[in-house]
Structure 1
Amino acid sequence: MISDRVADALVIRTALSAEAETIGELHFRARSTYYPDGAPQDDIDWTEAWRGSIERPDVQVLCAVAHGRIVGIASFRTPEGASAETVKLFQFHVDPGRWRAGIGTALHTACVEEWQADGRRTAVLDVHVDNRRAQAFYARQGWVPDPEQPLGDGDHHLCLRYAVDGE
């Protein structure tokens, strides 16, 4: 449940290219929480990766802003080879310092509203197997394990599915 204080101050809008560095930093902070030894060091420039996503015409990037500060992000698009009725939630993060304040629920609701407006019927996502907090969040929102992509031995991501159209 979103608190009245957060609801009054929260704005969800399309991200801007100029915000890529802030979004990349939030992404890294959130991602670091579900790896046992912290986020793996990789050669990805998250600022440039987010700028690229924000600027892609086929990607939607939403951000949740509270009191002028980005506190949540979500990115989604039609996955390669899928029908236009399917959308993939590629990234969904809330600033760890703001967990349990209703920001994720509000951001998820905004995503679903966009998907419904775009005529999507199904949403899919991959969640890291060690990210139990996110798995519980998605379950509360109505996401279920994708029967077409069961978790296999050695898999690091669990595939989830959401019925956008409620069926």
Structure 2
Amino acid sequence: MRGTTIRPTTEDDWEAIRALRLEMIRDTPMAYAEHLRDAEQLDEAEWRARGRRGQEAAGTSMVAIDADGRWVGAMGAFVPDEATGPLLVGVYVAPSHRGREAGVADRLLDAIETWAAERGPTLRLHVHERNERAQAFYARRGFRPTGATEPYVLAPEERELEMIRDLDGTPA
């Protein structure tokens, strides 16, 4: 979307990070490993720490800010270990800015993929088994299911599906 800025977060962004995170959880609770009531109780120090993720070497936190200054999207990534490589987390785009035409999700993912390509040959993610909208976006962007699943942390009887994308453009 024209006038939308994609950039890493900073510690000073903590209030906007908090507001966006609460919006994310309200919009799609199954997509995040955090209950709304828990997120609402976090203190300023925790939100500042989350803001610093955008400046870390082993992780990043990117946001999309529209021309009016509204935070309309977020994506993060980190490297949990060398075998796993970069892992995509915390993906959200506000309903008003969703869709291929808006391009916010694509631009955020482009930024994450650029960051991840410097840290490994693939980018992995875990997506809730019922989050079909997200699965379709990831498939369009070249991610494929690995066949691996894991329990969803907030409801262990539900599953998260692992997907992977080779960052050099060939299938993973």
For the aligned pair, the TM-score class normalised by the smaller chain equals 0.7 to 0.9
Secondary structure, aligned partner of 1:110: helix
Specify whether residues 32 and 128 from structure 1 end up closer, same or farther in structure 2 by C-alpha distance, changes over 3 A only: farther
Kept in 1: contact 2:122–2:166 (CA 8 A): yes
- 1:144 has 2:136 as partner: no
Q: Distance in 1 between matches of 2:90 and 2:165?
A: 15
Aligned pair in 2 of structure 1 residues 144, 46: CA closer, same or farther (>3 Å)? farther
- Matched with 1:17 is 11
Once the 2 structures are TM-superposed, how far is the Cα of residue 71 of structure 1 from its aligned partner? 1.4
Summarize the Cα distance change of 1:55–1:119 in structure 2 as closer, same or farther, 3 Å threshold.
closer
Aligned-residue CA RMSD in angstroms? Answer: 2.6
Aligned residue-pair number: 155
Contact 1:122–1:163 (CA under 8 A) maintained in structure 2: yes
Distance in 2 (alpha carbons) for counterparts of 1:72 and 1:143: 20
Structure 2 residue identity aligned to 1:10: T
The corresponding residue for 1:112 is 113
1:89-104 matches, cutoff 5 A = 89-100=88-99, 101-104=102-105
Instruction: Among all aligned residue pairs of Structure 1 and Structure 2, give the percentage whose two residues are the same amino acid.
Output: 26
Which residue number corresponds to residue 159 of structure 1?
162
- For residues 166 and 95 of structure 1, what CA distance do their matches in structure 2 show? 28
Change (3 A) 1:123 1:47: farther
**Are residues 23 and 54 of structure 1, via their aligned partners in 2, closer, same or farther at CA, if it must alter by over 3 Å?**
closer
Name the CA distance, whole Å, in 1 between partners of 2:3 and 2:106. Answer: 15
Q: Would you say 1:30 and 2:30 are equivalent positions? A: no
Task: Write the deviation string for residues 110-139 of structure 1: whole angstroms up to 9, x where unpaired.
Answer: 1112222x1420111111222221111111
The within-5 A match list for 1:57-76 is 57=56, 58-67=58-67, 68-76=69-77
Alignment TM-score, normalising by the size of structure 2: 0.75
Gaps in structure 1 of 5+ consecutive residues: 1-5
